[in-house]
Amino acid sequence: MERDSENSSHSTPVVTRPVAADWLGLRRAADHRARHNAAPVIERISSWLRDGLTANQAAVIIDLGAGTGSNQAWLAPRLTAPQQWILVDHDASLLDVSTATDTEQVKSTIRMVGTVNQLPDLIASEAPTLVTCAALLDLLSPSEAALIAETVASTQAAALLSLTVTGEVSLTPEDPVDHQIAAAFDAHQRREDLLGPDAAETVAGLLRDHGANVEVVQTDWVLDASQPEFVERYLTDRADAAVEQNPHLADAAQQWVQRRLVQLEQGQLTVRVGHQDVVCIPEARAAESTG
């Protein structure tokens, strides 16, 4: 069952930068490959959800910054428990192009225009709840990250906060301009007090401060010439962001992209982009589910 909601509450969205639907489509395959490293924790989360269910009950999965539904598409078939999804995004146009997830475990999906500020109001069910997101934490402010951590810990929800960039980017072969591009890009991500590449460490620390049991899983992208369109878009977007932050890099960044695209076309380029998943499973149910 699919339902939509236009309830955007009283709060002003903090994440207001538009994210292009075509970019989300291009990155989906790389995201899903990277997330295989987190597969072992998915069964533990599933066990925790199942352990907390009563008859005819579905677990509540709240997907923050849901975008076009990539997180649901990957995660829902892997959660071996009946599920009710709430997809939350500030951009109605992205929710409009999200598609239903074809798995019998998903009993309903609600699409809601809103922000992370609505999270405390959404955890109102007695059913076990999983708060999840993908590629969102680095776009948040410290206050939004604090709200997520406090809400997850205080409600004894589980959390799977996935695919947060760490700032660790390795391009092979190396290039003399790599460091300049990286420094400007990371500064761009931290502008206007956004968490940027500090996000995963920050949120993990906030959850631990609240007494939560936290683990961090490495979920890096590994890119090469087998995904030429995506890698080209990644390189050009990275250079554009660096130049936006430091306009003096314009010529060097343009030449850097040209060199990298030649290497890509010749099959010589590989790119590793650091990402981390922050995982939190409340101790009581985690202990019960493991006997």
Q: How far apart are CA 229 and CA 231, in angstroms?
A: 6
Domains belonging to the chain, first-starting first, are: 2-165+194-220+275-289 (3.40.50.150)
- The backbone torsions φ and ψ at residue 43, rounded to the nearest 5 degrees and listed phi first, read -65, -35
pLDDT band of 18, cuts 50, 70, 90 = low
Measured at the CA of 222, the angle between CA 221 and CA 228, to 5 degrees, comes to 105
Q: What is the pLDDT of residues 21-36, one digit of tens each?
A: 888 888 989 999 999 9
For residue 130, the tally of other CB atoms under 10 A from its CB is 25
Q: What is the pLDDT of residues 56-101, one digit of tens each?
A: 999 999 999 999 999 999 999 999 999 999 999 999 999 988 777 7
Q: Over the range 86-106, which residues count as b (16 or more CB within 10 Å of their CB) and which as e?
A: bbbbbbeebbeebeebeeebb
Average pLDDT over residues 105-128: 93
Q: How far apart are CA 224 and CA 234, in angstroms?
A: 11
The pLDDT value recorded for residue 99 is 74
pTM value? 0.90
What's 174's DSSP letter? Answer: -
Three-class SS of residue 166?
strand
